[in-house]
Structure 1
């Protein structure tokens, strides 16, 4: 039963959302089992693939719904972050004939060609954000098993559904919409929980929020995507994080949130707060520099802590020496700078993508206006058509090397 006042304690991890859509909460990220409403045990589609190590759990619940030896007709992905594709390797091994679909701009991160922009733990908000530096950053390589979603907006295996390009959280992020009853699977275009907070993530208190800030590299595009989804007037919103919400309260919270998006969702400080990363069909093209000052402060705190430990050890050593004992303590440390991601710089051909892409033509580069002014901090007005996708297809820049902090 849908509720806008649910929490983790009152909601099972595996549950029906509406007829034809069930959810599995995989620790803190959601994935969905979608199927025709009139065929509960007919062909079905998996939307997203959860965290690493979850393949057996996902298959177990699939068997509960559809019976043994009933693989999905397809797996469709909202995006390629580790908490949405982590179990895909194991699932593909068990389901060797099942195709995987994602937006064409998401394919570089699913075929080993590019890493995502680095996560940003400086955005604040809580434990989930602060720990994001440790989340998996590497690209996945599913080879030819993954292919582009159909250009006509249809969803393989799900008649009556369509996909909508909703970039911002990732460049090729998509949401899925069942038009006849306005059921929305929004992925991480927005959430129904305060995803940066460890406490909120654990309790699963329901309320509309923006995309998880620590993994969002383009805030103008994220706002445009959330505006687009609000214009669909969803009756149900099933998100990548948080318990599904519905009805008048869902639409009221969306309407109240969007005019304050920059206040409530966009970080006050952060690597991408005012300058987006850019990408094209070959992957990431440029990322803004990390916030050095925040890291320097962090290193200073760590240095003070190490100094205190060293002084304590030295004091213990003197005591041991006076007692005729020999204290030995050795420590070695070396910064890990082995992981480096090389980004491609060849421009991709202009393609159709992004919110309302059907009615737009190519425009200016992502970070340069027609007059040469920086548009990274420009903000599209509510309800306007925002060319979020263009920054991902015609940005030209030199080849760069980025070391993850």
Structure 2
């Protein structure tokens, strides 16, 4: 009997949100950020040209939010050419099965992330002791079991290219997860960082709600390898990106981004590492 796509048994909605829930921001004509509760997804593609790619798939049970925003931007009956995943944590794949079904689209992720996307391996349990913030304390309630995408998920090409995204490259930015990637547009130095770093203090429910811009390391409660996480932030800073969409928080660009990454690296132990 053929295996069907499914989420982990622990997948469920979460009653946490931000004041930016549902907000879409056109950062430039071919780059759009949509906030789904407390996480961001990205649309890459110019509506004038039609073709586009979805990066990440938001929180559980929020596929309609993503589909409606995509149809408003690109038109009804214009599916993405692909879904690219920065990683497989529940808040980045929470609506992916519904998106695959609605659009009949395939998924690409790093080879090291595939066990978490094909039912083979669970992520480490969230650690509530990493920070005093309420989101961190609530994290044991967050899903961490693998999802099963069967043959709809494929490993990204080893040469760093991304299917259907000419001009973009993927970079391994491990640490938050073993196969976490970030996406970089070489000619414009635009960056989609995923959770390699974020622009909000993700452990604090107050900061998550108000979304004050504050460049921080990856969410502490789910990060498995801090030495690799620090090296990944350093790798992204060396690219000198002009703008960044992160998995959580507002988009950031220019000197605010450059200075924020420098501050994060100079104070990584204080700003990023768990208590």
Provide the TM-score with structure 2 as the length reference: 0.91
Q: Is 1:131 matched with 2:170? A: no
Contact in 2 for aligned 1:153/1:164 (Cα 8 Å): yes
Q: CA deviation at 1:257?
A: 1.5
Instruction: Provide the residue aligned with 1:78 in structure 2.
Output: 86
Secondary structure at the residue paired with 2:267?
Answer: helix
Give, in whole Å, the separation in 2 of the partners of 1:41 and 1:16.
Answer: 16
Q: Runs of 5+ in structure 1 lacking a partner?
A: 1-7, 269-405
Instruction: Provide the residue aligned with 2:32 in structure 1.
Output: 22
Give, in whole Å, the separation in 1 of the partners of 2:41 and 2:132.
Answer: 24
Greater relative contact order: 1 or 2 (C-alpha under 8 angstroms, separation 6 or more)?
A: 2
Contact in 2 for aligned 1:155/1:163 (Cα 8 Å): yes
Secondary structure at the residue paired with 1:105?
Answer: helix
Provide the TM-score with structure 1 as the length reference: 0.62
Q: Give the 5 Å matches for 1:103-252.
A: 103-252=110-259
Contact in 1 for aligned 2:21/2:36 (Cα 8 Å): no
Over aligned residues, Cα RMSD in angstroms?
Answer: 1.4
Secondary structure at the residue paired with 2:160?
Answer: coil
Contact in 2 for aligned 1:111/1:139 (Cα 8 Å): yes
Cα distance change of structure 1 residues 150 and 262 upon mapping to structure 2, 3 Å threshold: same
Contact in 1 for aligned 2:55/2:86 (Cα 8 Å): yes
Match of 1:91 among 87, 99, 113: 99
Q: Give the 5 Å matches for 1:3-402.
A: 13-35=23-45, 37=46, 40-96=48-104, 98-268=105-275
Contact in 1 for aligned 2:22/2:37 (Cα 8 Å): no
Give, in whole Å, the separation in 2 of the partners of 1:185 and 1:122.
Answer: 29
Contact in 1 for aligned 2:38/2:248 (Cα 8 Å): yes
Give, in whole Å, the separation in 1 of the partners of 2:185 and 2:93.
Answer: 22
Report Cα offsets for 1:80-110 as digits up to 9, x if no partner: 00000000011111122x1100000000000
Contact in 1 for aligned 2:127/2:140 (Cα 8 Å): yes
Q: Runs of 5+ in structure 2 lacking a partner?
A: 1-17
Q: CA deviation at 1:19?
A: 2.1
Report Cα offsets for 1:242-265 as digits up to 9, x if no partner: 000100121011112202101210
Contact in 1 for aligned 2:130/2:274 (Cα 8 Å): yes
Secondary structure at the residue paired with 1:237?
Answer: strand
Report Cα offsets for 1:207-231 as digits up to 9, x if no partner: 1100000000100000000000000
Secondary structure at the residue paired with 2:61?
Answer: coil
